[in-house]
Amino acid sequence: MNYILNKENEIYYECNWSSDNALFLCLEGDKFVITDGRYTLDAKEKASAEVIESRDLIKKAKELILKYRPKKLTIDPLNWNKKDYNELLKVVNLKDEEHFSHKKRVIKSKNELEIIKKAAKKGAKAFDEFAKKIKIGADEFELGFEFKKILTKRGKRDISFEPIVAINENAAKPHALPMRKTLKKGDLLLLDAGIKYKRYCSDRTRTIFIGKNISMSKKQKFPKKIQKIYDVVLRAQEAAIKAVRVGIKAKELDKIARDIITKAGYGKYFVHSLGHGVGLDIHEWPYINSKNEIILKEGMVFTIEPGIYIPGEFGIRIEDMVAINYDSKAEIL
């Protein structure tokens, strides 16, 4: 297959190297990375492809295409600006395939699974370490800063995304931004974060009660009203995880969790999909939603994260990553 890529993680997947200014071309089985002089030495040391230096990446790509003259070149049209896309069209017929790289990467190798498992374990350990550092009186900005220090090991590793740290009513926003609200005993605190290990992401959410003993366990003790909703979310998550197997459709998993929440009377407050794939990107295939017909297979990794969000009051989300191993068994990471 002949194809061209321009996104960092997509390029890294193909040749074990990438930068913020590079193109990857596969032409009749030959692999090329085109980048500028800032990155050439690093690319030549690490990339499992022929490295070509150029200030004009598209011009050099066109020259390679004209040399090989493929009948068609596969491209993900979602990733390209109109100018570069049209330049490529001048020398080759482009075959549009949306999410081309995500489709290639949806099945993780055994080695990838091991890396992702380590990312998840290291991420979970950071949550436990943060539990010991949570301070009453700190606002969401301060809590987020402390959490980020622990997640990154003071800058030694990257985070999967900017952590979500939300108290009480701010937690009713699934992707809450920090506010100046300060933490006090008896509060609800929602934490959503992940770290990268060898470039692969982790993703986890816990909703915890700020009492005498702060724990990241999924077994939490809230005031009665909150506890009722928390238990519904936990039950929905556990049921969906239990149902994970080779052969089930993504939409069927979503339905299992959504039906539990709907029957409990909170269906309209579950406002997002059940989960998403995780790998080099924090959001990738397979997406676990109510419309996705994709059949789950060995090697797939995704989140299970039901939530209930009561506007102006609080939000509850519980999230874990799940992998289908090569013995066809589901494993909570």
The owner of tokens 């598209």 is 58
pLDDT of residue 290: 96
Q: Amino acid identity, residue 122? A: K
User: Which percentage of the chain shows pLDDT scores above 70?
Assistant: 100
pLDDT of residue 328 exceeding 90: no
Which pLDDT band, with edges at 50, 70 and 90, does 329 fall under? Answer: confident
**Residue 116 tokens, joined:** 């992702």
User: Which percentage of the chain shows pLDDT scores above 90?
Assistant: 98
Peptide bond into 286 cis (omega under 30): yes
Give the mean model confidence (pLDDT) for residues 164-192: 97
pLDDT of residue 171: 98
CATH numbers and ranges of domains, the chain: 3-105 (3.40.350.10), 110-332 (3.90.230.10)
111-128 residue pLDDT tens: 999 999 999 999 999 999
Give the mean model confidence (pLDDT) for residues 258-266: 98
pLDDT of residue 58: 98
Q: Can you name the residues that pair with 31 across neighbouring β-strands?
A: 26
pLDDT of residue 233 exceeding 90: yes
22-56 residue pLDDT tens: 999 999 999 999 999 999 999 999 999 999 999 99
Three-state secondary-structure class, residue 56: coil
Give the mean model confidence (pLDDT) for residues 138-165: 96
Q: What are phi and psi of 232, to 5 degrees?
A: -65, -45
Is residue 23 within 8 A of residue 17, CB to CB? The reply is no
Is residue 119 within 8 A of residue 310, CB to CB? The reply is no
265-296 residue pLDDT tens: 999 999 999 999 999 999 999 999 999 999 99
Q: What is the pTM of this model?
A: 0.93
